Each structure stands twice: as structure tokens, then as C-alpha cells.
Amino acid sequence: MAVAGLCNLINPERVIIGGLLSRGGDLLLQPIRDSIRRHAVQAAAERVEVVPAVFIERAELMGSLALALRAWNPAVASLT
């Protein structure tokens, strides 16, 4: 329900589940998707994609680095 609430607030295109939780695969991801469909605004629920993180152990570091590079060089934004 918390993820559905976030979808209502910020309407993301993608929700990335990281850390040890991402190793749960569809056993964890499918209930999150179902909860979003039940509790989020329909337009947000239809649009959002729930996926596991690729960089399980260093996701926060990689995301921070990507944001820093994007701010430093706007041309990098076209690569992401």
C-alpha cells in the first residue's frame, strides 16, 4: 500500500525494488504490482512498471553517480 501511495503522489514510470528484496523475484514483485492496481489511481497504476534492481549491492551508489553525472554534463542525460 505504501508503494501505491507513492504512485499516487509522484506518478513514477518505474518502481525499482533493490537490495535483498530484489532477490525475491516475482514472489515479492507480483504482490506489489497487485497492491498498486488495487490502491493507486488507475492512471498511475496502469503506467508504472515494477522491476528488480540490476545492481543489487550498489544500487544507491550507481543512482547517485548517475544523477551527479547528469547534473555535471547534460549530454549524459540523453544516454540514460
Length of the chain: 80
pLDDT at position 50: 95
| Strand partners for 14 | 49
pLDDT at position 41: 94
Q: Look up the CATH number of the domain holding residue 74.
A: 3.30.420.40
Q: In total, how many domains does the chain have?
A: 1
Confidence (pTM): 0.66
Over its length of 80 residues, how does the chain's per-residue pLDDT go in tens digits?
Answer: 999 999 999 999 999 888 777 788 899 999 999 999 999 999 999 999 999 887 666 767 877 888 888 777 766 656 55
Q: Residue 73 belongs to what domain range? A: 2-79
pLDDT at position 54: 76
Who's near 13: CB < 8 A, 6+ residues apart?
Answer: 47, 48, 49
| Strand partners for 51 | 16
pLDDT at position 74: 67
Cα(33)–Cα(51) distance, rounded to whole angstroms? Answer: 10
Cα(22)–Cα(6) distance, rounded to whole angstroms? Answer: 18
